[in-house]
Structure 1
Amino acid sequence: MLKTSLSLTALFVSSAVFADAPNAEQQAKDMERIIVTGSRVEERLDEVTASVVIVDQQALLRNMEVTNELQSILAIQVPGMGPNTGTNSSSGQNLRGRSALVLIDGLPQSTPLRNGRLAIRSLDPSVIERVEVIKGATSIYGNGAAGGIINYITKNADSKDGFNGKLNLATNFSATDFDDSLGKRADVTLDGRNDKLSFVANVAYEDNGIIKDADGDALGLLYGMSGFESKNAFTKIGYDLTGQSALSLTYNYFEGQQETDYISINKTVNDGEKSYAEKNTSGIKAPGDPQGPRGNHNLKLQYEHAEIFTDTLFTGDVYWQKLENVFFYSTKFRDPELGLAGGQSMIESEKTGIRANFNTTVDFDNTAASFTYGIDLLNDVTAQTMVDGRDWTPEMDMDNAALYLQSKFVINDDWVVKAGLRHEEIDVSVNDFQTLMVCRKTCSDVVNVAGGDIEYSATTYNLGLRYNAFDTFMPFVSYSEGFDVTDLGRTLRTASAPSINKIDTDASIIKNYEIGFDGYYGIFNYQFATFISKSNIGTSLVEDAATGKYESVRSPQEIYGFEAALEAKPSDTLTLGVNYSWLEGKNTDTDEYLNGSTINPPKFAAYADVTITNDWHASLTMMHVGSRDRFEKVGDVYTGTNGPVSSYNVVNLSTSYQISQDFKVYGGVENLLNNDYYPARSQSYTGSGYNVKGKGATVNLGINYLF
């Protein structure tokens, strides 16, 4: 079986493949048996009519030999996803030019009402069994999935009775300047099963040390990973009630704080100098609290019944999620009247929900049909406040009820037809509020705004067709819609009207059109897809240069692009591959290009994976990020996220050796060639402190012990 991230059904084999199958033809046949749950039910990949990538356990482990940053792993593994930003923020790292809804076992981590773009790093990677990425607008999980879904599937206990354990110890350090760069990591996973009872438990701790660039200078601290100290606790308990029903309880806690005695020296793209950090020798504490998630709680109780009534699987769950994410300190939040020289915002969000999902199968002559249907109920209370107690956005209390139906027909084993719909009813309650004064060259006006209720009602549709008769050419076409309440908090916090009923708070309907194919011939397999994504209301942001406010673009937008991949396995011990993704976008009313907060530059990847001996494995990956220069200077400077992006390359190397059945050592080097570069976001974002260079050569060493 191919043990890697993949997308046989839609478009792409990932950019770091680790395969055991003897040839591409056998790989493709094996891939047909792999199942995904992104559509809320298990199904074969060759019956999916959307673009899907599965990053499995082996692919995760191979990538973690180089880095534990999920943003970096997904940037390499997932075509259509932007390059890593080098920070703990995914702002500027989009999925096909739009925001993705991040889930843990189907539970939403993103905060669409005030999108802080911090959800990708919401748990430790040692907890993850696999990652499922569904690309393109989708209504499967509702609001916030304009670009698709990233679903972290957590680990389960072994299927056999007994007890298992795994200990991982690792360290990382800069190869350009060792001073203060030593990081450390430890994670322990236990699982066991005894008759009907099973459990999994994990604890993880990581301290990154000070991250250095190719010159040996400490990276700037804005959204930074230097000194980032994270802790994760996870448990899942399952009980088989009968032969057909089971109950499970899952809890995950994650926190990560940037704890460092370094201080940022902030520059801008227009200064022509990099932002960096230096050791604080003044003895004066830098203002503000540590950046990062103070705590992310996820709790889910789930009941499953294989046949709650004739030929019908039922899955029901109740869940709770709460988080608090702290942003960086900025003087733009100063208020002399209150004696405040600056301030620091944080997003607070609490979600509770109930979901009931049914899947009924029906067999007709030459046709296998299935119908997935159910109801989602969600309450989401979100606000962006200041650490000092001021409010930046009002509290938004959203009640969301949705009904959905998804049908699938497999005709004569070759034709796959899908059609579905989802109906949303959303009510957002907002109390009276006052906008926050934000200052840069000038200060914004404070506006008193009368609150009220904002109501949304929408029905979205999807339709897909796939033909599997020929192994060398298996085409598909799909149309899907998504419903997106476009960062309502950002719209409200920049209000200039006296009442919310005078503010444009309309939601976006995103329409995604896609056509592609995949196939295999001899030692080769290949994928291609092209897409167009249209929204009636914009989902990108523009900056007011005077006040520093970022405001939502409300004009219609169109994003389009393509992705392609070719993989070859010339022998049992060698896998080679290349892939490429490109996208572009415009505001259709003005025919203006979309900025760097929305559109990522082209991305090319190549990989080689070799089994040197039965116990010794090595992998080499290269990612090339292309250039994008669409905007002119305003006066003598670039503004907002309109900075030009120059191309760069990053090469990673990893290797592992299995000393015994229970003991393995591994090592990796991120940015092996010590390339001196700015990540794409650092080039396009012109704000102070954003132009931080990428990591220099960084070594990661570790051991795994099974017991």
Structure 2
Amino acid sequence: MLKTSLTLLALIISGQVHSQALQSDANKIQQQSKEQSKEKDIERIIVTGSRIAESIDEVPASITVITQKQIAAQLKVSSEIQSLLANLVPGMAPSTGTSSNSGQTLRGRSPLVMIDGVPQSTPLRNGALGIRTLDASVIERIEVIKGATSIYGNGAAGGIINYITKKANSDKALSGHASVSSRFSAIETEDSVGQRYEGGINGEVNNFNYVLNASYEKNGLQRDADGDILGLKYGLSDAVMQDYFAKVGYHFDDEKSLQFTYNYYQSKQDVDLIDQIGNINTGDKTQAIPVPEGKSVLGDPQGPTNQNIMLKYVDDEVFEQTQLMVDLYSQEVENIFFYSPTLANLDGGYTGGQSLINSEKTGLRVTLNTLVDFNFDNGGSLEATFIYGIDALNDVTSQPMVDGRIWVPEMDMKNLAGFLQTKLIYNDDLVIKLGVRQEDIDLTVNDYSTLKLCKKIDQCSVPVDVTGDTLNYKATTYNIGIKYNALPLFSPFVSYSQGADISDTGRLLRTASVTDISLIRTEASVIDNYELGFSSDFEQVHFEFATYFSTSELGTTNKFNEATGVYVPVRAPQEIYGYEALINYEINDAWAVNATYSWVEGKNTEADVYLGAKQISPPKATFNVNWTPNNDISVAINYLYVGDRKRFEAVDGEYVGDQGPIDSYQIVNLSGSYNFATDWSTFIGVENLFNQDYYPTKSQGYTYGGYNIKGLGTTVNLGVNYQF
């Protein structure tokens, strides 16, 4: 607005200045057009699908790329990445509304979460806390590849979610930004006000470039539509989140570069409250209340601490037509869970317990990319790309108790894999992809004893002494895909991909009932994923549709043991199937709409029973409207609809396990921003605009004690941004 006022004043004073102002505006418009064109080009490029930069049009698979602009828009409402993914990714289950992503699967299976290609999930003991591993403010874009894949190794049964971190976006020596905001309940503001501070600088100096970013956020009490405090199990009330990020790069010349990245993320919930446990079968919600007299808060603050160190070397011409990329990385994670009375052993003096997942990964990835062009006498052309290399990973994971007991023993996995991916593009229209990966995994577990855990005094598991061993897994997985791009109105693709998965071995070990680890069903599961889809582009409309079918020989579900009170893993064949649709319509420069729909279902084929809410989510639809009348104002409305899923009957009048009935609900979010001065803007975001009183899908599907926590009531986020 200030720029507009000065321009009007110039028009009045001088025609010459008027001419200069018009030229200046024309230059700005031209620059903005170039930047928008560049941004769109970047949006069409991905690196996750085949580990090299390539156009989305060259990938025969379903892909969702969430841009920095979309991330910034979602941050106006909430900093929670789970909500962002649920709102923007077809096939991604609805957000749980908590710090846990248990039940938030990708097409019914667990995805592998990565930061710049470095695995963040802990597949050996999947605690379902991998999505919240960094602050959204350091993400440049998110690439989601759906369907089983082995291109990055173990844990990608449902696909890959790769957070691509920011890089220096200016050739200036110094540029940056800062943001301050506050978030609070509009229903009951008492103790609900939180604060968020975030800022960073970046730039280029000679051959060096750098990005430095820091964020700190402290939530107030999270309240539902009635103003009551949400339950604390995986809760976010009074949680403190902090993230410190640094990326430094050096270009030796136009072809060779070295880059160092470090990220530290922590989220801890430390409250002076306790849960008042409800019951999903009686309709009583779980909520947090002040600590009654004579009681105290038990356990340490729950939440993750996550550190990543990455070193990347690139030589674009290590030899003719061949690029070399070398990634060396280290990751440490500590996820502390909630205190639970079901982890009791009165004979040993334990009235309950609190577990944590410790995981340390070190890895090396060497990737070579060779491009060969062929021109034929008939005028045809063939572009062949060969992507090959080796991956080495050492993953040491365990799940001890905070009090020193060992629940899941240390698992030491050494993984060496070789791979070859081939991409053939004939006449720029026909894309054929072929790939093979050979896995060689050694998993070492020493002798250990299972824990005696008592849900009730007379309902205890029986401890077993288990002889350890080194288990070896070998698997060869394949993928093939074809896409035809000659017709913008109809670009079809078909693909088949496999993934080798030994995820959540820790759950199998901690519930062992045999005396030798070789007798536990820890075999790797091979997932076969079939997909058929197409995309269409006509004028301002883009449409995508895909249907898929996924099978696994040894999926893992739960079965409740009445005698011990423990949910025991059951390994049985599974099939999962579904479809997704997406439409984008850019009506004009000011208006754009986006809509998605996804449906998924799955069965244990051996017993012919449906899979529960831990894997299968109900139908989901989203509808987003964006209005940008000028460069200073933007408004967005986001609508989420979650449908019914009622596949199970009550047992003796009560629902059990993850088989609770799910009723539909709908949420509307509103956000807007206004540039009120040069480099300054303010924003507002409202989550659950109409104060829908609802339970998220996990809260309805999970019948376990304390999980039936309601969703957030109307919550407002206000803030201001500064850029320089």
TM-score tier (shorter): over 0.9
1:229-277 Cα offsets, whole Å, 9 max, x none, are 1111110111111221011111101111101112111112123200001
Distance 1:612 1:548, change over 3 A: farther
Match of residue 202 from structure 1: 213
The question of whether the paired residues in 1 share the 8 Å contact of 2:90 and 2:582 is answered with no
Identity of aligned residues (%): 51
Give the Cα–Cα distance (whole angstroms) in 2 for the partners of residues 396 and 421 of structure 1: 27
Match of residue 387 from structure 2: 372
The question of whether the paired residues in 1 share the 8 Å contact of 2:135 and 2:265 is answered with yes
Give the Cα–Cα distance (whole angstroms) in 1 for the partners of residues 282 and 702 of structure 2: 13
Match of residue 310 from structure 1: 320
**TM-score, with normalisation over the residues of structure 1?**
0.95
Amino acid at match of 1:415: L
Choose which of 332, 336, 346 in structure 1 pairs with 2:346: 336
RMSD: 1.7
Give the Cα–Cα distance (whole angstroms) in 2 for the partners of residues 272 and 528 of structure 1: 38
Give the Cα–Cα distance (whole angstroms) in 2 for the partners of residues 542 and 416 of structure 1: 45
Give the Cα–Cα distance (whole angstroms) in 2 for the partners of residues 139 and 645 of structure 1: 33
Match of residue 8 from structure 1: none
Match of residue 273 from structure 2: 262
The question of whether the paired residues in 1 share the 8 Å contact of 2:462 and 2:564 is answered with no
Q: After superposition, where does 1:19-30 map in structure 2 within 5 Å?
A: none
Amino acid at match of 1:157: A
**TM-score, with normalisation over the residues of structure 2?**
0.92
Q: Greater CA deviation, 271-280 or 542-551?
A: 542-551
Q: Identify unmatched segments of 5+ residues in structure 2.
A: 1-30, 376-380
1:212 deviation in Å? 0.3
Match of residue 3 from structure 1: none
The question of whether the paired residues in 1 share the 8 Å contact of 2:441 and 2:474 is answered with yes
Match of residue 285 from structure 1: 296
Q: Secondary structure in 2 aligned to 1:681?
A: helix
Match of residue 14 from structure 1: none
Match of residue 39 from structure 1: 50
Match of residue 227 from structure 1: 238
The question of whether the paired residues in 1 share the 8 Å contact of 2:460 and 2:565 is answered with no
Give the Cα–Cα distance (whole angstroms) in 2 for the partners of residues 375 and 446 of structure 1: 41
The question of whether the paired residues in 2 share the 8 Å contact of 1:28 and 1:525 is answered with no
Match of residue 357 from structure 2: 347
Match of residue 661 from structure 1: 678
Q: Secondary structure in 2 aligned to 1:691?
A: coil
Q: Greater CA deviation, 33-42 or 94-103?
A: 33-42
Matched, 1:71 2:86: no
Match of residue 688 from structure 1: 705
1:618-673 Cα offsets, whole Å, 9 max, x none, are 00010000000001111121110000000000000000001123111000100000
Amino acid at match of 1:395: E
Choose which of 342, 361, 365 in structure 1 pairs with 2:371: 361
1:548 deviation in Å? 4.2
Choose which of 416, 424, 435 in structure 2 pairs with 1:401: 416
Matched, 1:478 2:456: no
1:37 deviation in Å? 3.7
1:591 deviation in Å? 1.1
1:264-312 Cα offsets, whole Å, 9 max, x none, are 111121232000011235375311111101x211001111101111111
The question of whether the paired residues in 1 share the 8 Å contact of 2:527 and 2:553 is answered with yes
Give the Cα–Cα distance (whole angstroms) in 2 for the partners of residues 282 and 663 of structure 1: 49
Give the Cα–Cα distance (whole angstroms) in 2 for the partners of residues 409 and 420 of structure 1: 11
Q: Greater CA deviation, 677-686 or 653-662?
A: 653-662
Choose which of 68, 73, 91 in structure 2 pairs with 1:80: 91
Give the Cα–Cα distance (whole angstroms) in 2 for the partners of residues 154 and 603 of structure 1: 28
Match of residue 607 from structure 1: 624
Match of residue 594 from structure 1: 611
1:566 deviation in Å? 2.4
Choose which of 436, 439, 449 in structure 1 pairs with 2:451: 436
Match of residue 598 from structure 2: 581
1:153-206 Cα offsets, whole Å, 9 max, x none, are 111112413201110111000011001100110011111210101111111111
Give the Cα–Cα distance (whole angstroms) in 2 for the partners of residues 32 and 641 of structure 1: 38
1:31 deviation in Å? 8.2
1:614 deviation in Å? 2.8
Match of residue 120 from structure 1: 131
1:544 deviation in Å? 3.3
**Larger Rg computed on CA atoms:** 2
**What is the number of equivalent residue pairs in this alignment?**
684
Matched, 1:410 2:425: yes
Give the Cα–Cα distance (whole angstroms) in 2 for the partners of residues 695 and 39 of structure 1: 39
Give the Cα–Cα distance (whole angstroms) in 1 for the partners of residues 204 and 710 of structure 2: 47
Q: Secondary structure in 1 aligned to 2:646?
A: coil
1:596 deviation in Å? 0.7
Give the Cα–Cα distance (whole angstroms) in 2 for the partners of residues 269 and 200 of structure 1: 47
The question of whether the paired residues in 2 share the 8 Å contact of 1:578 and 1:605 is answered with yes
Give the Cα–Cα distance (whole angstroms) in 1 for the partners of residues 560 and 202 of structure 2: 49
Give the Cα–Cα distance (whole angstroms) in 2 for the partners of residues 30 and 502 of structure 1: 53
Q: Secondary structure in 1 aligned to 2:199?
A: strand
Give the Cα–Cα distance (whole angstroms) in 2 for the partners of residues 21 and 647 of structure 1: 43
Match of residue 105 from structure 2: 94
1:103 deviation in Å? 0.4
1:384 deviation in Å? 0.4
Give the Cα–Cα distance (whole angstroms) in 2 for the partners of residues 133 and 352 of structure 1: 23
RCO comparison, higher one (Cα < 8 Å, 6+): 1
Give the Cα–Cα distance (whole angstroms) in 1 for the partners of residues 539 and 69 of structure 2: 24
Q: Greater CA deviation, 33-42 or 665-674?
A: 33-42
The question of whether the paired residues in 1 share the 8 Å contact of 2:268 and 2:301 is answered with yes
